[in-house]
Structure 1
Amino acid sequence: MTGDVRGTGDGRERRNTEIVLTAMRELFHEKDLTALDRYWAEPYTQHSPRMASGLAMLRAAVPTLVGFSWEARRTAAQGDLVFTHSLVHGWGPGPVVIVDVFRLEGGRIVEHWDVVQDHVPAAETASGNPMV
C-alpha cells in the first residue's frame, strides 16, 4: 500500500490513518483474521450495499478472496473519519477503484462506507487522466 497520508488538525487524524492502513494490510494482504480483534470493534456498521454489518461478515469473506490486493493511493482524515482512494484487484472480475470511508471510535474501526467503480485506464478515459 502506497500513498500520501494526510490529516489536518491534531495527531488523532494521523494515528487514525495509520490504524486504517495497518488494519487493511494485516487483514487483506496478510490474511490475518486476528487483525479484526485489534483494529475493528462491534457494533461494526457496514454501509456497502453488498456487505452485511458485523465482523462475522469480514471473518467469512477474507479467506475467500483470491488474488486480492488493496493499494491505497491517497488518504485523508477529518476528525474520526479516514478516507482512502485505492486501486483494488480481486474484488471483481477486473480491477476497481474504491473510495472507502472509515469511522473510528477509540482507535478502532466501527463504521464503513464505500464507492466502487470499474477501473478504466487513463488512455481510455474522456479526459485522458487516470482514475487513481
Structure 2
Amino acid sequence: MKTPEQKNKELVLNAFDTLFGKREYAAAEEFWSDDYVQHSRHIPPGREGLFGLVRSLPETLRYENQYVIAEGDYVMLYGRYSGIGAPAASVVADVVRIEKGKLAEHWDVWEDEATRAESAGDAPMFGDEFPPGR
C-alpha cells in the first residue's frame, strides 16, 4: 500500500508531465484546483495564469525532473525547464501543496543553469554533466 507521500509525489509528477510534457490542457485541469494559488514571480495568478503561460511558450518546452521529495501535503520537485527561448535552461525547485487530491498552491525558486565556466563550485547544477557553453 502506498503512503500519502508516495501518492502525492506520483500526483505531482503526473500533473507536470500532463501540462509541461504532453501539453494536454483539458487533462491537466483534473490535476490543478479551481482555486489554485500561484506564488511565483514568473507565473500569472491561478490555474488559468499557469496554463496561459505554458500555452505561450514554444513547443520545444521540456521539463526534466531529477528529485522529488514529499512531506505530508507538500511535494518539492527539483528539475530543469529548457526549450523556453531563453539563453540558458532554468533549474527550479517547485514546491506544491496538495489539497483534496489536487495541486492547490505553488512556490518556486528559479536559477539559470550554469556552464562549467560559470560554476564556482565546479559541479553541475542538474544531472551529471554541465550544459554546453552558451
Alignment pair present for 1:112 and 2:106: yes
Structure 1: gaps of 5 or more residues: 1-9
Match of 1:18 in 2: 10
Greater relative contact order (Cα < 8 A, sep 6+) = 1
Quote the Cα distance in structure 2 between the aligned partners of 1:115 and 1:54: 18
Q: Is the 8 A contact 2:43 2:53 kept in 1?
A: no
Q: Is the 8 A contact 1:84 1:100 kept in 2?
A: yes
Match of 1:44 in 2: 36
How far residue 123 of structure 1 moved from its aligned partner, in angstroms, is 5.3
Quote the Cα distance in structure 1 between the aligned partners of 2:10 and 2:98: 12
1:97 is aligned, of 91, 97, 118, to 91
Q: Provide the aligned C-alpha RMSD in A.
A: 1.6
2:76 is aligned, of 71, 79, 83, to 83
How far residue 92 of structure 1 moved from its aligned partner, in angstroms, is 5.2
Which consecutive aligned stretches of 4+ in structure 1 deviate over 6 angstroms post-superposition? none
Match of 1:5 in 2: none
How many residues matched? 123
Q: Is the 8 A contact 2:44 2:53 kept in 1?
A: no
Percent identity (aligned): 34
Structure 2: gaps of 5 or more residues: 127-134
SS in 1 for 2:30: helix
Greater Cα offset, 72-81 or 49-58: 49-58
Q: 1:84 to 1:120 in 2, by over 3 A?
A: same
Q: Is the 8 A contact 1:122 1:131 kept in 2?
A: no
SS in 1 for 2:122: coil
Quote the Cα distance in structure 2 between the aligned partners of 1:60 and 1:85: 23
- TM-score, normalising length from structure 1? 0.85
How far residue 18 of structure 1 moved from its aligned partner, in angstroms, is 0.4
Quote the Cα distance in structure 2 between the aligned partners of 1:122 and 1:116: 19
